Structure 1
Amino acid sequence: MIKRTLTLLSIVTLTFSSFGQNSEKAKTLLDEVYTNVTSYDNIYIDFNYSLENTEANIKQETKGNVTLMGDKYLADLFGAKQLFDGSKVYTVVPENEEVTIESPSEEENTVTPSKMLTFYKTGHNYQWDILQNVKGRKIQFIKLIPIDTNTEIKSILLGIDAGTKHIYKLIETGKNGTKTTITVNSFKTNQPLSKSLFTFDEAKYESEGYYIIRN
């Protein structure tokens, strides 16, 4: 009985030791990604976006792109354009001829475009996951488990290109079964940008008859 107990204790110890090593290995890789992406003056990403909930019979797929410079961003998704100039968020919906102007969300769990490459830095536990070969590229997945148990997010799989240390894929699974996937098609850095790229021209949209909503 004593021998069996000692054996079980040894297995448990080895399991926790392995988990700790894998967690530290995952954190080290994420730190490398963070150091990499924050070293660029700006980043342009072209991506595929999909949202699926089998139970609710929902499936949406589209393409999008985002330009990031520090906290500022300009994103195009679902036919709408969203701009953050560092102070306000401007959402332009041409189909409705509407512009919504509001302050950025204060919710900690909200992954905005400005945080999409750095959100993993805090608030998660990390696990080393599978390694995939995608057209000759080694994509190492890290599983992120939110520390906050009240969040609607169950887990996030972050696929990292082992060669470039760039994020290739993000798979977010919600507690309601919704799965959101972002797959990067193109990742460009330090592009020449217009000085007015992150400046919202309200007068332009007013002259075009857009309805301005201020929240």
Structure 2
Amino acid sequence: MFKKQLLLLGAFFLSVTAFGQNADKAKALLDEVYKKVNSYDNIQVDFKYALDNSETKTHQETRGDVTMSGDKYLFNLFGAQQLYDGKKVYTIIPENEEVIIEDYTEEENTVTPSKMLTFYKSGHRYSWDIEQKTDGRMIQYVKLIPIDSKSEIKSILLGIDVQTKNIYKLIETGKNGTKTTITVNSLKTNQPLSKSLFTFDEAKYENQGYYIVRN
């Protein structure tokens, strides 16, 4: 469940090889976003997640949030939670009363929220796209297309707030016609965080009767 969503959120920080007209403008804008994000000690993002497919008449909508500091993150979506403490990944599923503990592995083309909102992983081409006024703000879109022809993704549109240089929206279109949209409801930076926020308390879940799975 989480892997697909982490890959999608990772589109917030994809980097790429430019193509087409105005590619230099697109790269310059992404560079500004990258520089700004790298200046933060931590980031808290609350977002809306929507999935639509007109052919299958599918519509799914929910909200999620992620808190990131360095490589560490705490990610909530679909009623479950994932925590990365810098060494291990903990996926907590209350519905199943289960915790999955895994070593972190840097797989190719795999991304995590700890890299969210940066733009420097290879694998895509990009170009300057449309500019839209949304909720009183100007949003400039950059289009990303996977270089890998076998990718299930047709294209990704990243909407960047022209004034703040923060990501506002991501629209991923799959080759199967599925469109997934992530809209940032709020983005806070350099917040006071609890020292234990990225610490997994195994005894807490054992006492609640959770099944602990170690992979």
Question: Is 2:28 the partner of 1:33?
Answer: no
- In structure 2, the partner of 1:7 is none
Find the aligned partners of 1:181 and 1:199 in 2 and give their Cα distance.
Answer: 30
- Kept in 1, the 8 Å contact 2:82–2:91? The answer is yes
Q: How does 1:187-202 map to 2 (within 5 A)?
A: 187-202=187-202
Q: How far apart are 1:72 and its partner, in Å?
A: 1.0
Segments ≥4 residues shifted beyond 6 Å = none
Distance 1:42 1:205 in 2: 27
Q: Deviations over 1:67-108 (max 9, x none)?
A: 011121101111111101112111111111111112335443
Question: What is the aligned partner in structure 1 of residue 181 from structure 2?
Answer: 181
Alignment root-mean-square deviation, CA: 1.6
Distance apart, 1:148 and its partner CA: 2.1
Question: What residue ranges of structure 1 are gaps of 5+ in the alignment?
Answer: 1-18
1:35 Cα deviation after fit: 0.7
Which string of whole-angstrom CA distances, capped at 9 and with x for unpartnered residues, describes residues 6-29 of structure 1?
xxxxxxxxxxxxx75511110110
1:11-65: CA deviation from partner (whole Å, max 9, x where unpaired): xxxxxxxx75511110110011011111100000011001122223322100111
In structure 2, relative to structure 1, the CA distance for the partners of 1:152 and 1:111 (3 Å cut) is farther
**Aligned-residue identity in percent:** 74
- Post-superposition CA distance 1:132-181 (Å, at most 9, x none): 10122110000011122222221110000000100000111112222111
Higher relative contact order (CA 8 A, sep 6+): 2
The one-letter code sitting in structure 2 at the alignment partner of 1:52 is: D
Give me the whole-angstrom Cα distance separating, in 1, the residues matched to 2:53 and 2:94.
28
| SS of equivalent residue, structure 1 residue 55 | coil
For these two proteins, the number of residue pairs brought into alignment is 197
Structure 2 CA distance, aligned partners of 1:175 and 1:200? 38
The equivalent residue for 1:102 is: 102
Q: CA deviation at 1:119?
A: 4.8
Secondary structure of the 1:209 match is coil
- Three-state SS of the structure 1 residue aligned to 2:114 is helix
TM-score, length of structure 1 as denominator length? 0.86
Equivalent position SS for 2:96: coil
The alpha-carbon distance between structure 1 residues 81 and 206, as it changes in their structure 2 partners (threshold 3 A), is: same
Q: Which residue of 1 aligns with 2:24?
A: 24
TM-score under structure 2 length normalisation: 0.86
The alpha-carbon deviation at position 199 of structure 1 amounts to 0.8
SS of alignment partner, residue 172 of structure 2: strand
Alignment of 1:60-209 (within 5 A): 60-104=60-104, 106-119=106-119, 121-209=121-209
In 2, are the aligned partners of 1:120 and 1:144 still within 8 Å (CA)?
no
CA distance in 1, matches of 2:73, 2:33: 19
Tell me, yes or no, if the aligned pair for 1:141 and 1:160 is still in contact at 8 Å.
Answer: yes
Distance 1:196 1:98 in 2: 21
Larger Cα Rg: Structure 1 or Structure 2? 1
Unaligned runs of 5+ in 2: 1-18
Matched-pair contact (CA < 8 Å) for 1:30–1:121: no
* SS of aligned partner of 1:31: helix
